[in-house]
Chain A
Amino acid sequence: MFTALLIEQLLNGLQLGLMLFLMAAGLTLIFGVMGLINLAHGSLYMIGAFACATVAAATGSFWIGLIASLTAAAGVGAIIEVAVIRRLYDRDHLDQVLATFALILILSEGSRWLFGSFPLYLDIPPVLQGAVPLPGGGQYQLYRLAIIGVGIAVAAGLYMLISKTRLGMRIRAGESDREMIGALGVDIGTLYTVVFALGAALAGLAGALVGALQSVQVGMGEPVLILAFVVIVIGGIGSIKGALVGAVIVGVVDTMGRFLLPSLLALTMPASQATTIGAALASMLIYVVMALILAFRPSGLFAAQS
Chain B
Amino acid sequence: MNRILAASLLGLSLATSSLAHAEPVKIGVITTLSGGGAGLGIDMRDAFTLAIKQSGNKDVELVIEDDAQKPELAVQIAEKMIQGDKVDLMTGIIWSNLAMAVVPNTVAQDVIYLSPNAGPSALAGANCNPNYFNVAYQNDNFHEAMGQYANKDYKNAFILAPNYPAGKDALTGFKRYYKGALSGEIYTQVGQTDYAAEIAQIRASGADSVYFFLPGGMGIAFMKQYAQSGVNIPVMGPGFSFSQDVLPAIGDAALGVKNSATWSKDLDNEANKQFVEAFKAEYKRLPSIYAAQSWDTANLILAALSKASVKDKDAFRTALKAADFKSVRGEFAFNNNNHPIQNIYVREVVKEADGVLTNKIIATAFEDHKDAYAEKCSM
8 Å CB contact of A276 from B163, B204, B220, B249: B163
Q: Is the CB of B217 within 8 A of A217?
A: yes
Q: Which of B10-57 contact A (CB under 8 A)?
A: 34-36, 38-39, 42
The segment from B150-158, B187-195, B331-339 found at the interface with A is: B187-195
With a cutoff of 8 Å between Cβ atoms, the chain B residues found around residue A112 in the complex are: 34-35, 38
Give the Cβ gap from B264 to chain A, nearest Cβ, in Å.
19
B230, A141: Cβ atoms closer than 8 Å: yes
What 1/0 flags go to B60-101 for Cβ under 8 Å of A?
000000000000000000000000000000000000000000
Q: List which B197-211 residues lie within 8 A (CB) of chain A.
A: 197-198, 200-201, 204
Indicate which residue in A131, A213, A215, A223 contacts B230 across the interface (CB closer than 8 Å).
Answer: A131
Residues 231-260 (chain B) with a chain A CB within 8 angstroms:
245-246, 248-251, 253
Most buried by A among B216, B220, B250: B220
With contact pairs A119-B220, A144-B196, A275-B185 given, residues A220 and B36 touching in the complex (Cβ less than 8 Å) = yes
Q: Say how far B173's CB is from chain A's closest CB, in angstroms.
A: 15
A283→B194 contact, CB < 8 A: no
Interface assignment of A31: CB less than 8 Å from any CB of chain B? no
B-contact bits for A278-289, CB 8 A (1 contact / 0 none): 111011000000
Quick check: A283 and B189 within 8 Å, CB to CB? yes
For A210, what are the chain B residues with a Cβ–Cβ distance below 8 Å?
A: 193
Residues on the B chain within 8 Å of A217, using CB: 36, 217, 220, 249
Would you call A270 an interface residue if the criterion is a C-beta within 8 Å of the partner chain's C-beta atoms? no
Is the beta-carbon distance between B220 and A215 smaller than 8 angstroms?
yes
- List of A residues within 8 angstroms of B246 by Cβ: 118-119, 215
Evaluate contact between A214 and B217: CB separation under 8 angstroms. Answer: yes
Which of A1-9, A75-83, A191-199, A230-238 lines the interface with chain B? A1-9
Q: Which residue of B lies closest to A210 (CB)?
A: B193
The answer to whether B39 and A143 touch across the interface, beta carbons within 8 angstroms, is no
**Max chain B C-beta neighbours (<10 A), residue from A121, A131, A143:** A121
Which residues from A are CB-within-8-Å of B253? 123
The reply to whether A123 and B230 contact each other, CB–CB distance below 8 Å, is no
Give the total number of A-B pairs whose CB atoms are below 8 A apart.
127
By the criterion CB–CB under 8 Å, are A214 and B221 in contact? yes
| Most interface-central of A123, A129, A143, A279 (chain B CB within 10 A) | A279
Of the listed residues B42, B191, B193, the one surrounded by the most CB atoms of chain A closer than 10 A to its CB is B193
Interface size class of B (residues with CB under 8 A): 35 or more
For residue A219, which residues in chain B have a CB less than 8 angstroms away from its CB? 35-36, 217
Contacts of B201 in A (CB 8 A): 5, 259
Min CB–CB distance B284 → chain A (angstroms): 12
What separation, in Å, do the CA atoms of A120 and B201 have in the docked complex? Answer: 28
Does A38 have its Cβ within 8 Å of any Cβ on chain B?
A: no
Contacts of A181 in B (CB 8 A): none
Q: Is the CB of A5 within 8 A of B200?
A: yes
A171 adjacent to chain B (CB < 8 Å): no
**Residues of the A chain whose Cβ atoms lie less than 8 Å from the Cβ of B250:** 121
* Distance, CA A213 to CA B42, complexed state (A): 26
CB distance from A299 to the nearest CB of B (A): 29
Q: B186 at interface (Cβ–Cβ under 8 A)?
A: yes
B228 contacts A by Cβ under 8 Å: yes
B38 / chain A contacts, CB cutoff of 8 Å: 112, 117, 218
* Closest chain B CB from A232 CB (angstroms): 20
Within 114-141 of A, Cβ neighbours of B (below 8 Å) are at: 117-121, 123-124, 129-131, 139, 141
* Inter-chain contact B220/A214, CB cutoff 8 Å: yes
Inter-chain contacts of B204 with A (CB < 8 A): 1, 4-5
Find out whether the CB atom of A9 lies under 8 angstroms from the CB atom of B35.
no
What is the interface of chain B, defined by CB distance below 8 A to chain A? 34-36, 38-39, 42, 163, 168, 185-191, 193-194, 196-198, 200-201, 204, 216-218, 220-221, 224-225, 228-230, 245-246, 248-251, 253
A-B contact pairs, 8 of them (CB 8 A): A8-B200, A108-B35, A119-B217, A121-B251, A139-B230, A141-B229, A141-B230, A283-B163
10 cross-chain pairs, A with B, having the tightest CB-CB distances, nearest first: A219-B36, A215-B220, A215-B217, A119-B249, A279-B187, A214-B221, A12-B196, A279-B163, A117-B38, A117-B39
Known contacts A118-B249, A119-B217, A120-B249; 14 additional CB pairs below 8 A are A112-B38, A117-B42, A119-B248, A121-B248, A121-B251, A123-B253, A139-B230, A213-B225, A215-B216, A215-B221, A215-B249, A218-B38, A259-B201, A279-B187
